[in-house]
Structures are given as structure tokens and as C-alpha cells.
Structure 1
Amino acid sequence: MTNHELRLDCEEFLHHEAELLDDKRLHDWFELLTEDIEYLVPRRVTRERGSERSEFSGKGFLYRDDHGTLSTRVERFDNDYAWAENPPSRTRRFVSNVRASELSNNEADDVAVKSNLLLYRSQGDTADHDLIVGEREDRLRRVDGEFKLAKRTVYLDQTVLATRNLSFFL
């Protein structure tokens, strides 16, 4: 497979994933995850210019989920007590600048994928909306000929999120 074909396959996976999330088909989305999934959104920290420390916290996370916690979150959105999603959010994900590369010494048939994400969310009947922007670093794994998401780290551009909650997946 050429690098171009690999990138197209990864783009197709990411666009399908975005469609499932935007359509609130969370159980179908959950089926795209591996059993050993890591889903991380480290907190961004503003540093002085020239600092050698990372802009992202190694200790503070907005999300730090695994298969079990993601399952719980998906199930929670299905019940009457998902107050953060009442009224339900309307989301649109824009995934762009997809870059993909095979990993060297790759026993698990994993692919490293980077992409940019712009997420728009509105809720209720007001003009208020959220825009969340960042870069995603994913690890996709071929399982039975299909890609599954094995790891996602989202590096948000904002240090402060002007949103009421994070009741959605990035």
C-alpha cells in the first residue's frame, strides 16, 4: 500500500468516526475502539517563551479514559439522567490535514495518524456555541482488515475552554 492510499484509508476511518459522533451513534462509535484503548486530553499550560517544559501537563487531564470508562460514558448518555446533554448538543466535526505513517517494528499492524480537529457545538435555542480546536495524534490498528482506534491524544489549542461542559468526545 502506498503512503497516499494509507492516508486515504485513515481519512475514511476518521470521517466515518466523525459522522457517527455527530449523529449520536455512540454505541456504533464505541465498536471502533480496541479493548486496550487509551483516550487522553492533557491540560494545556501556558509557559514562558523559551521554556523547555512541555506546553501540556503530564499530570492534569481533561480526559484520561480507557475502554471501561469510555463504556460507562457511552452508557450514561443513553439514560434519562444525562443532564449535561439536556437539551442534546448539536455537533459538527471537521477533520483535516490528515497525515499517516506506518510504524517501524510494527507487530500490531498499527498506523500513526495526526489530524486537525475543529468541533462546533450548539445546544438549545440560543445563539451560543462552542468552538474547540486541536491536533489529534491517533494510533489506528488493523483488526480483521478494518481499522480500530487504539489510542487518541488530543492537544487542544485553548488553555481555557469557554464551554459549560465536556459532554462529548473529541
Structure 2
Amino acid sequence: MIIFPAYAKAAGIDPKSVKFVPSSPQSLPQLLAAGSVDAIGQFAAGKPLLEKAAGGKTVTMLPYADKLPDLYGNGLLVSATKLDSDRAEVEKFTAALVKGLIYAVEHPEEAAQLLKKHDRTADEKVAAAELTEMPVRPGRRRDRREARPGAGGGDDQAARRHRHPQVDAERR
């Protein structure tokens, strides 16, 4: 809960008034639904899963991005060694990953069917709803040169030398 104090301050919450309960990620929806905890940390796209666990009750989301808009979401990291040795492969993989994500968001029912085909435990309805909730912003990314020195650990000099490719992620 490294980011929570900054979020709490921006949201007007006393961070000392919040007690964190160590729990596995898989148990969080059930803990919230059972009333064992008042809140959990979850990606905003997880709202459909939480509402299913809560028996259809509406779940209130408090996205960190509303108060801390410059936060990263998910990212794709590559070592400087891999980037130096095979930049073309990294660029192809990155482009394919983004293309697949955009397709999944634009075709949530089809993507959910594919997920179910490969993971029998997946709930198609929830998976499709989660894709609908995803706040994908094609083309919005930061490269490593924009990272603050020391913020992510690792070799900051190497981070400044290597820029990952801008991926054309515009919706087609």
C-alpha cells in the first residue's frame, strides 16, 4: 500500500484511520462481499467481478487516477540487454500485445469466449464486462526517459539511453 497515503491525502482521508488486512488477491472479492473488510484495492476494470461476488449489489469504485492522474497503469518492461540484442523482436511483440488488447476491448464478448475456451474457470459474462470497463487510452504512454531517476530502481543511466518504440495504438 505504498501509493495509498498519497491517494488518501488527495482524497481527504486520514491514512492513519485505515487498517490494512493482509489477504491474497483471490480472496478480496469475497472479503468485501461478506463485509469482512470495508474496502479493497482492485483495478477499476474489476468492478463486474466484485458486483458478482456481492450478489449483484452496486460497488462503489474510488479510482486512484481520479486523484492521482499521473499514475501508471500496467506496463511492459524489457531489459536493456534484450532491447539492445533484439529491438525488432521487442517492437513486434509490443505492437502485437497492444493490437490484441485493443481488439479484445473492442470485441469483449469474443475475447471472453476465447478466454473461457482456454480457462474453463473463467466467467464469460464477467470477463466481457471487465473488458468493457477497461479505460484503454491508445497511444498514451511514457517512455523510460520520462521516468524520475531512482523511481523504478534498476539502472537509471541505461533507462535514459533506451527508448522503447512508440506503438501505433490508434483504434482501427
Q: TM-score, normalised by structure 1?
A: 0.24
Over alpha carbons, which structure has the higher Rg? 2
Q: TM-score, normalised by structure 2?
A: 0.24
The one of the two structures with greater contact order (alpha-carbon pairs below 8 A, sep at least 6) is 1
More helix by share: 2
More strand by share: 1
